């Protein structure tokens, strides 16, 4: 007797087979026996469910924007089985006590596996956070953004020395911000140009010791990506909004398209598509704000957009349209992110953790009213996406046919329990 069978599933390699699951693990691929629960996957594609290595789950005083329940429901409804929460939270993840409290709350409320990063600030207890189980550190702000202040070169150098010695991964927000107010999308893009992103990557690379591991967040231009790759061992991610949206195609003063780094031109966006195969990871930078906050004047409206629920549907739609390969999407949303984070990635294979998304292959129109983020809007309104019918997390179908059921998610803790400060 198994716990769950995904019946007649189309596998990534083209075979059609039953996937048997017991104890949270795939136990057999082929003809199945009896099971407590069977889901008919006839005609549906089953792939390893994604990890989103860059989300902001808000919660606490920011619960009007998002909380762990709505944010992780959004994740599983979008084919994401694990999220990594970045630490520009309230309160900040700068102490072991704050960190442990957030982990405990996520344990009680999350619908998917999760990890939490530690803050990098002048006063953050880096050693305490590492020993408490921070998976990584950052995003470390080398430029200001919503709820994140820019760090001085001295603070960056000092923090990277400690984290490099520990073997911890540091994720970096690299931008250069020009002075002055911005009043529309074009001005916002000009105030945080790709050239400044590249220059900041150069700066951080110059401050980092050889032992440090760096991952650059939401790279928005080919020039800055080239700079990232000049240092061996660096990795980076690209956000869906920089692949699917450009500022010229939006209403100039629409704050719903304001994010950091900003949307780029269509020419710059298409350059990212031309280098798509070489991009190691895609992550949503899910950063929800309320509609009320986004109705402020452009100069004062917060930057950030929701995206954890639409990342995989947008990419899977591109797969079924023949624009990109399924293998590339799995590599960039499953295999590579898990490898960068030092974690074991799920596979459609016997013995693997059963994190599986089941896609019908039928596109639908993305509408905010059908999504689950508390913020209630999406920058992808009206675009096509292929959403999962079922998302299995640790062997449990936590999203199936439009309904949620919570199981016990895993906490992906970092490897710092054995670290001793020099």
Element holding 4 (H helix, E strand) = strand 2-10
DSSP 353: B
Sheet holding 80-85, edge to edge: 50-55, 80-85, 113-116
Is residue 13 flagged as an active site residue?
A: no
Choosing from 285, 327, 355, 407, the catalytic residue is 285
Give the list of residues 6+ apart from residue 188 with CB closer than 8 angstroms, or none: 182, 247, 258, 262, 298
- Rounded CA-CA distance 213/204 in Å is 12
Determine the pLDDT at residue 53.
Answer: 98
Element holding 281 (H helix, E strand) = strand 281-282
At the top level of CATH, which class does the domain 49-346 belong to? alpha beta
Determine the pLDDT at residue 417.
Answer: 66
Helix 68-77 / helix 96-109 crossing angle, nearest 10 deg: 60
Residue by residue, DSSP assigns 193-221 as -HHHHHHHHHHHHHH--TT-EEEE-S---
DSSP 107: H
Average pLDDT per 10 consecutive residues for the chain, totaling 422 residues: 96 97 97 94 98 98 97 98 95 96 97 98 95 96 70 94 96 94 98 96 95 96 97 97 98 97 98 97 98 97 98 98 98 98 98 98 96 98 98 98 96 79 40
Helix (H, G, I), strand (E, B) or coil at 85: strand
**Cβ contact 171:215 at 8 Å:** yes
**Cβ contact 319:329 at 8 Å:** yes
Name the architecture of domain 2-46+351-404. Answer: Roll (2.30)
Helix 153-166 / helix 194-207 crossing angle, nearest 10 deg: 60
Which residues in 31-116 belong to E strands, given as ranges?
Answer: 35-40, 45-48, 50-55, 80-85, 113-116
**Cβ contact 399:388 at 8 Å:** yes
**Cβ contact 146:304 at 8 Å:** yes
β-bridge mates for residue 55, sequence order: 85, 286
Per-residue pLDDT tens for 78-122? Answer: 999 999 999 989 999 999 999 999 999 999 999 999 999 999 999
Total Cβ atoms within 10 A of residue 251: 11
User: For strand 2-10 and strand 16-22, is the pairing parallel, antiparallel, or unpaired?
Assistant: antiparallel
Q: What is the pTM of this model?
A: 0.96
Determine the pLDDT at residue 422.
Answer: 39
Determine the pLDDT at residue 148.
Answer: 60
CA distances from 11 to 263, 305, 361 (A): 35, 33, 13
Q: Where do the structural domains in the chain lie, given as residue ranges?
A: 2-46+351-404, 49-346
Helix (H, G, I), strand (E, B) or coil at 75: helix
Question: Which candidate, 148, 153, 144, places its Cα nearest to that of 175?
Answer: 144
| Helix residue spans in 82-193 (DSSP H) | 96-109, 126-132, 153-166, 185-191
Determine the pLDDT at residue 421.
Answer: 42
β-bridge mates for residue 17, sequence order: 9
**Cβ contact 237:280 at 8 Å:** yes
Burial of 217 per CB tally in 10 Å (0-12, 13-18, 19+): buried
Question: Which candidate, 261, 210, 252, 260, places its Cα nearest to that of 231?
Answer: 210
């Amino acid at each position: 007797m198994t716990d769950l069978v995904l019946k007649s599933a189309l596998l990534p390699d083209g075979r059609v087979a039953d996937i048997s699951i017991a104890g949270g693990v795939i136990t057999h691929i082929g003809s199945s026996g009896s099971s407590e629960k069977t889901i008919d996957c006839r005609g549906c594609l089953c792939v390893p469910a994604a990890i989103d290595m860059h989300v902001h789950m808000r919660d606490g005083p920011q619960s009007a924007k998002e909380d762990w329940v709505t944010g992780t429901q959004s994740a599983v409804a979008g084919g994401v089985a694990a999220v990594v929460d970045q630490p520009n939270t309230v309160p900040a993840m700068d102490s072991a006590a704050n960190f442990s409290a957030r982990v405990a709350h996520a344990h009680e409320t999350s619908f998917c596996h999760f990890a939490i990063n530690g803050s990098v600030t002048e006063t953050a207890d880096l050693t305490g956070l590492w020993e408490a189980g921070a998976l990584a550190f950052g995003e470390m702000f080398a430029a200001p953004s919503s709820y994140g202040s820019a760090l001085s070169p001295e603070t960056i150098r000092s923090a990277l020395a400690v984290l490099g010695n520990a073997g911890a991964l540091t994720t970096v927000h690299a931008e250069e911000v020009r002075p002055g107010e911005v009043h529309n999308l074009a001005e916002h893009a000009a105030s945080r140009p790709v050239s400044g992103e590249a220059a900041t990557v150069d700066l951080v690379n110059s401050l980092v010791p050889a032992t440090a591991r760096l991952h650059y967040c939401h790279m928005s231009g080919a020039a800055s990506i080239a700079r990232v790759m000049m240092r061996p061992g660096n990795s980076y991610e690209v956000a869906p909004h920089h692949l699917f949206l450009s500022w010229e195609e939006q209403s100039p003063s629409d704050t719903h398209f304001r994010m950091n780094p900003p949307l780029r031109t269509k020419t710059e966006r298409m350059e990212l598509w031309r280098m798509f195969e070489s991009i190691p990871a895609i992550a949503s930078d899910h950063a929800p704000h309320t509609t009320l906050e986004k109705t402020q004047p452009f100069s004062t409206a917060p930057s950030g957009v929701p995206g954890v629920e639409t990342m995989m549907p947008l990419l899977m739609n591109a797969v079924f349209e023949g624009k990109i390969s399924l293998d590339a999407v799995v590599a960039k949303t499953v295999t590579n992110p898990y490898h960068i984070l030092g974690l074991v990635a799920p596979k459609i294979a016997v013995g693997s953790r059963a994190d599986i998304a089941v896609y019908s292959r039928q596109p639908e129109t993305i509408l905010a009213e059908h999504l689950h983020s508390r913020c209630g809007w999406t920058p992808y309104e009206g675009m096509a996406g292929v959403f999962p019918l079922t998302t299995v997390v640790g062997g449990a179908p936590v999203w199936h046919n439009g309904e949620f059921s919570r199981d016990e998610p895993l906490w992906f803790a970092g490897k710092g329990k054995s670290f001793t400060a020099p």
